[in-house]
Amino acid sequence: MKALTVLLCLAGAVATVNTSSLSSVMASPTESEDPELTEQWSQHKDAIMLRLEENDADLKRQYKEQLEKIESSSGEEKESAQQRADSLQQEILKSELVISRLKNV
């Protein structure tokens, strides 16, 4: 989970970089460059996006579980589940933002 958090932070940092410098850093190689390099870039980017999307789906699954727990609980357990659900909702928003920004790169 720590590795995933680091990956999300890194992806978020990359996504917030100035658009002009981002395009030079993250742009795929030009046609005059090695086609193998182009393929490696594509595979790397796809793997990162897949991992981010899998994490987003897992966060949404956990969020739904917490909502069910809220409905079936009471007292401190319900309050704890609500806090966890709120936290997960924030993580989902962050995850979706990172994914959206990286898809637009």
pLDDT tens per residue across span 22-60: 444 455 444 557 888 767 767 888 888 999 999 999 999
The larger pLDDT score, comparing residue 62 to residue 3, is at 62
Give the position of tokens 């995850």: 95
pLDDT tens per residue across span 47-103: 889 999 999 999 999 999 999 999 999 999 999 999 999 999 999 999 999 999 888
Domain boundaries, the chain: 38-105
Structural tokens at position 62: 């956990």
Give the residue from 36, 9, 23, 2 showing the smallest Cα distance to 97.
Answer: 9
14 contacts 102 by C-beta, under 8 angstroms: yes
